[in-house]
Structure 1
């Protein structure tokens, strides 16, 4: 009995030191094993995904994302924290998003990155290509819920902006505002205060082109509650800034043997017939040999429509002309769902 009690106390001590259920990105507690402890991580609408531009659906009515208050985060310092999985910055509720079905208020942002000298680092991929890192800005539906934890368990309770980050020639002042403080939070559990700054500087220079889909948190418990917006254009940081992100932090407490905090990204998950819509027409798409779902007259009125229920995406004549007009110099029709195509109408 005494031996059993000692073992039980030791187990409690270990769980307390690990903050409860323990998960990592690699090893025996790595992402391949998450569903055993967090069943929703094995569900069919998980994130991130590999966005295949050949399979996205263009939605001409998709409203632009409108970040409000990003350039004016207030006068209070912001909390920057190493939680052992990433570096996370708390955001004030004065930051919120327009252009979405409900009022989504900002809560925090965090980063995902790889390992020095190795490719990859982002969670989302486009046409199977990853970038060096990825920024996530997390918001919750403040119209329907009182707090993040409640919203995180409900469909579209969260809205997350995904910003792919690549290496450029110049240093980013906005990202440097975060990276310059990493030395103060090298170990898990450490926190420091960061002066307020223009959070909008972390966003890509062009936000009108983006992908939208329903997915999940990319870390346990992997709740399928996220309305994702992944920007097509990328933010840029310098190589020195990327290496600072890759080399500074540890995933362990200061009192434990150091383990570098690197490769904190989840592999792309199966799309499983989910719809990915785009606010723009991706370049390089072959519009030939695709199924016609609607036919439009030059005045924009439908001549024939076979749009499946629940997929009311139809190109106007103006969008169709944008696709084919310069190439064909004729009247064209465009289509929507699944693998869209066109049909030519003689002028």
Structure 2
């Protein structure tokens, strides 16, 4: 009987301590700060309980090659701009002039850039939203675009294909990435929620891998990864990660949530696929084939070596 009492007591305490009010990440939730953690986001917005939610875990062996996923065409990604970087209480976000556009890559039309933001873990630990074969990267960049005919994101989200997000993973490097200095250096000025400052001139091209390294990617239909979780997003996840030093990665963990806690663990857990298909580009397939070929060659060489 006593064995049953303890779980029941813990369950009742959890009920007393479960979320109310605004949405939050799991790292923010406590009895002192009651909020709707990810498993309760549908309480904050019913759309978060939909069947086509993001992020997801990409199981590469279950992806299907799609010949339509050819090279992207990036227009004005090289154009420098002086954006404003802001701590919005959940992430770091930078508004982007709408002159930068992306098309091709199997997208149905041209999409213009609106903003980019990031998701991360704690001090360079696992923090990406999407995972690849269960691997969670330290951080993930989302460049948000809307269809060219729309003037605001709210209207674009009413279209089932109104938004296209380009997702990029990060990896820890032994050396700093100088192209990220304008962003990382600005973090010191926006540590508190609603803090904002002007960035030194940057371009979208400088914060992503070179265009020739953007031929390997995955595609699926999903949602925004924060409430309202609107299911209007065409997702593209690029294979090649962006290198940052551990110091650069750790700098993001020095930001603060609204309540003054360290802004860490800013990712939504992966969501069920619910029958959706994930597609891969020809580049991704070639990369996988090359890897398998190298493994096969190594095996043959290993077998041919004298005992």
Q: Which residue matches 1:163? A: 168
Give the deviation of 1:241 after TM superposition. 0.3
Q: Which residue matches 1:130? A: 136
Q: Which residue matches 2:22? A: 22
Q: Could you say if the C-alpha distance between residues 159 and 186 of structure 1 is closer, same or farther in structure 2, counting changes exceeding 3 Å?
A: same
C-alpha RMSD over aligned residues? 2.3
Compare the two structures and name the one with the higher helix fraction.
Answer: 2
Q: What SS does structure 1 have at the residue aligned with 2:219?
A: strand
Give the deviation of 1:284 after TM superposition. 5.7
Give the deviation of 1:283 after TM superposition. 5.5
Asked whether the 8 Å contact 1:73–1:95 carries over to 2, the reply is no
Q: Which residue matches 1:233? A: 240
1:41 maps to which of 37, 43, 48: 48
Cα shift readout 1:116-148 (whole Å, capped 9, x = no counterpart): 27x4100010000010000000000122x2311
Q: Could you say if the C-alpha distance between residues 267 and 282 of structure 1 is closer, same or farther in structure 2, counting changes exceeding 3 Å?
A: farther
Q: Which residue matches 1:302? A: none
1:64 maps to which of 71, 94, 109: 71
Q: What SS does structure 2 have at the residue aligned with 1:266?
A: coil
* Distance in 1 separating the partners of 2:114 and 2:83: 11
What pairs with 1:64-103 in structure 2 (closer than 5 Å)?
Answer: 64-74=71-81, 77-99=82-104, 100-103=107-110
Give the deviation of 1:103 after TM superposition. 1.6
Q: Which residue matches 1:177? A: 182
Aligned length: 263
Asked whether the 8 Å contact 2:120–2:267 carries over to 1, the reply is yes
- Structure 1 residue 263 corresponds to structure 2 residue 269: no
Larger of the two Rg values belongs to structure? 1
Point out 4+ residue stretches in structure 1 off by more than 2 angstroms: 282-285
* Distance in 2 separating the partners of 1:79 and 1:38: 28
TM-score of the two chains, using structure 2 as the length reference:
0.80
- Structure 1 residue 195 corresponds to structure 2 residue 197: no
TM-score of the two chains, using structure 1 as the length reference:
0.71
User: Can you give the 5+ residue segments of structure 1 that lack an aligned partner in the other structure?
Assistant: 1-20, 286-322, 328-347
Q: What SS does structure 2 have at the residue aligned with 1:180?
A: helix
Q: Which residue matches 2:222? A: 215
What pairs with 1:223-302 in structure 2 (closer than 5 Å)?
Answer: 223-247=230-254, 249-252=255-258, 258-279=260-281, 280-281=284-285
* Distance in 2 separating the partners of 1:112 and 1:132: 9
Cα shift readout 1:174-210 (whole Å, capped 9, x = no counterpart): 2222011011111111111112213212112410000
